[in-house]
Amino acid sequence: MKKLAQKLVKLLSKKKLKVSFAESCTGGLLSSSITSISGSSKVFTLGLITYSNQAKINILKVPKRIIIKHGAVSYETCISMVKNLNKISKTNISLSITGVAGPKGGTKQKPVGLVYIGIKKDNKTLVKKYLFKNKIRNSIQRATVNKALNLILSFAK
């Protein structure tokens, strides 16, 4: 994770790009992975931990009806999170994460390990769905952060 974060900070600095994050199930781990790197202040603008549905609705302006209809862990919530984060932060790249880190809280439809990562750069928006098999909370969070860092790297090139 640290090597990926270093590589990302270096690339974003070189390209003069700024990033922002809205995290739920990773609880700030993605923001922490970036801010632990010297020079990150040149590229990292904003990190929000919108853990509760209320925070997603009040801060990120995710419509309540989306959370009621699709749930907090859904494609629809994730895309709304990233689009609204982008409006708030005005960064080149915005990324949102929502998922079930476990070990409890999963359902048949939304099992532990289900994570959505949304990314927006310019007019391109993408949401990727992952299902991590390791049901250990810390492992799911770390795997999510690694996927997120790789996704930003691919968008920043």
Give me the amino acid identity at 49: I
pLDDT value, residue 1: 83
The pTM score is: 0.97
- pLDDT the model gives residue 63: 98
> Which CATH number do you get for residue 20?
3.90.950.20
Residues in the chain with pLDDT values less than 50: none
Q: How many domains does the chain have?
A: 1
Q: Range of 149's domain? A: 2-156
Distances (CA, A) of 147 to 119, 132, 157: 11, 11, 16
Pairing of strands 19-23, 124-131: unpaired
Assigned token pair, 142: 């770390």
